[in-house]
Amino acid sequence: MDSENFSALQAKRSSLPEQAADMISELIKQRRLVAGERIPTEFELASMLKVGRGTIREAVKLLVSRNVLEIRRGVGTFIADQPGQIDDPLGFAYYPNKKRLIQDLLEIRIQLEPWAAALAAQRATAENLEVVQNTCRQVELDIVSGLDHLPHDVEFHVAIANCTQNMVMPNLIPIISYSVGLFGTLTGKTLLSDTIVCHRAIAEAICEQNPELASRKMLEHLEQNRKELTRIIAEMDTEPI
């Protein structure tokens, strides 16, 4: 890592750990390190960036908090899974009106996911399709077994998003995943049989590489969800206090 780039960053920011964190991020990009790969040791990084090891430790903590790195005690520091993504990057948990939030998230998904399903049918690799099929089967198995299907439901929709091969799509996945979870907690056990049928139809259309059908089936699934959501919220609003 050249010291000229580091000096340039120093001029822009006052926090040395922040500067070091930026340079470590650049190092990750330059070396094309991926999830699970180990980064240089604390001593090596301090030598590269010409800063103290304490600064490196603070920089690493910052990158851990951003889900870029993970520390494995006694082993080293590694690139995190899905680096840069955190559970709630858009701060949905702090939105006070959950009923409004779930409606607005579904509104965005209705615009986004039919397009994603169509693109998935065009671009999915054999490995992508296997994940879609497996998560679809797992959701069905969870429902039939009376288990909580929401984690695998999220994985199913995320798998479709990943099929698009669109590099921006991972940044939009929190909209999908948070919405699926919130919708499931509100609707409870309604739509379970419909979920099985809709997921099967979407997965089959994508695996058959039929973009129009995949888009239509995804739209039908989400519109069905919106109809049920509207019904549930209307009942909640008319319940006596």
Q: What is the pLDDT of residue 177?
A: 86
Q: What is the pLDDT of residue 241?
A: 47
Class of domain 92-238: mainly alpha
Q: Is the separation of the CB atoms in 190 and 228 below 8 Å?
A: yes
Helix axes 150-163, 169-187, angle to 10 degrees: 150
198-203-204-210 Cα dihedral, nearest 10 degrees: 110
Q: What is the pTM of this model?
A: 0.66
Q: What is the pLDDT of residue 9?
A: 47
Q: What is the pLDDT of residue 65?
A: 83
- Asked if domains 3-79 and 92-238 share a fold, the reply is no
- The backbone torsions φ and ψ at residue 79, rounded to the nearest 5 degrees and listed phi first, read -70, 130
Q: What is the pLDDT of residue 90?
A: 77
Q: What is the pLDDT of residue 20?
A: 92
- Average confidence (pLDDT) per 10 residues, the chain, 241 residues: 51 73 89 89 93 93 87 90 66 82 94 97 96 96 92 92 91 86 79 93 98 98 93 78 47
CATH number of the 3-79 domain? 1.10.10.10
The ranges assigned to domains in the chain are 3-79, 92-238
H or E element at residue 198: helix 192-207
